Structure 1
Amino acid sequence: MNGDSVDIDLARAWVQAIAAAVDQHKDHLTQLDSAIGDADHGVNMHRGFSAVTTALDGLEPDTVGALLVKAGTTLISSVGGASGPLYGGAFRAIGRTLDTSKATPQEFAHALAAGLDSIQRLGAAAPGDKTMIDAYTPALAAFQQQADAGADLATAALAAADSAEDGLRATAPLQARKGRASYLGARSIGHQDPGAASTALVFRALAETAAAAETAATR
């Protein structure tokens, strides 16, 4: 595992970090979902990433992609509601573009873009609809900008995490136009979107994992 690229060990550590973040914040995710959804987002995400952790235990993939496809497939099969297909499909799409044991930041940016495309195809949401797209889109843009400028993985991932959290905060004044929250109409205004919140956790976990890898590589 190093800080310059996404290798198999870093990808595994990333998914484990997501699982830990979801475990820590599951009650908060459920509180957000209680306001504008089914009140099950935290429980569903926790179930899914717990299952992913189990599925990856002992798995020795040949590529980064194989590990992430396995994570996505597990999410689809273990998470109820919309979260399973959306997150599972995203991880499968990310994985399918990474048929390598080590991906550069630019290659990983391309993979993240494939993940966003998967979510948009399945959810038919656009920026401003008050969904996970509102955190993912700015995160991807920030990561891509840094990668194109020659930044290392940790720098690109940190920019992505900060932008995802900015996107999350920006969902509060929006009126939901997709998902169960859209049924509330104007009553959805004033609440952060739970899917955007979990997406922000995913990108923050990537930033923390990349930073840890960079620190370990310089010791």
Structure 2
Amino acid sequence: MTLTPALFPALISAIAETITEQADAVTELDQAIGDGDHVFNLQRGIQALQAAAPEISGLDWPAAWQKIGMLLMSSVGGASGSLYATLFINLAKNSKDSTLSVVEFARLFDLAVTAVKQRGKADAGEKTMLDVLIPVAVKLQQDAAAGLTLAEIYADVRASAEAGVAATRDMLATKGRASFLGERSIGHIDAGAKTAQLMIAAVSSVLAQAGE
């Protein structure tokens, strides 16, 4: 993996585009069992990252992840802000240097997702973004250890994210506002899981096209 933060402007632009395209559909999901403001909050963070993209693109990975995490913490409201901030700040915290192998990134991502679990006091099966992040972290480690090609890894990661978000439909929400609905939360896809899946798909597509 030769990816550097120089590709960050393209990554955040792809994320912004896919979230904008799916904003109405995701807001409808969120209004069914949440506060209805998830996309609005997320877009505030995306806009902050777009504004800082030139600076971030010139940093090494630890500094870039730290910058991303701090921006998300200050710009994204709701639970998503603190959880995504935790993810990126822990990527920075556990990173040893500015170079990345697939195996090393898989290790870092798994540690970061574990930190999100601890911060949110949640786990897989509770109808949250973790139902996407956890299976993606597991698949990433499995594929990296098996020596799969980057194209195969990106395809597997996208498939894992899609399966994760689909699985939230039949889950009982036990975290956040949706948990107050009890059994009525079953039958609805979690909006946070959906945006996590959309962003992972956008990032992996850009990386695949870049040949990274």
What TM bracket, shorter-length normalisation? over 0.9
Relative distance call for 1:169 and 1:188 in structure 2 (3 A) is same
Q: Percent identity of the aligned residues?
A: 38
Q: Which residue number in structure 2 is paired with residue 189 of structure 1? A: 186
The one of 3, 6, 10 aligned to 1:6? 3
Alignment match, 1:102:
99
Gaps of 5+ in 1: none
Q: How does 1:34-183 map to 2 (within 5 A)?
A: 34-183=31-180
TM-score by length of 1: 0.89
Q: Distance in 1 between matches of 2:201 and 2:77?
A: 24
2:172 aligned counterpart, secondary structure: coil
The separation in 2 between residues aligned to 1:11 and 1:204, in whole angstroms, is: 15
- 1:12 deviates by 4.6
Q: Which has the higher helix share?
A: 2
Aligned match of 2:12 = 15
For residue 99 of structure 1, report the CA deviation from its aligned partner.
4.4
Runs of 4+ in 1 over 6 A off after TM superposition: none
- Alpha-carbon shift at residue 145 of structure 1 (Å): 1.1
CA offset digits 1:63-122 (Å, max 9, x no partner): 122112211111110011111001111122123333433311111111211221121011
Instruction: Give the whole-Å Cα distance in 1 for the aligned partners of 2:57 and 2:18.
Output: 24
The answer to whether the 8 Å contact 2:91/2:109 transfers is yes
RMSD in angstroms over aligned alpha carbons?
1.7
Matched AA of 1:24: E
- SS of match in other structure, 1:171: helix
Give the aligned length.
Answer: 212
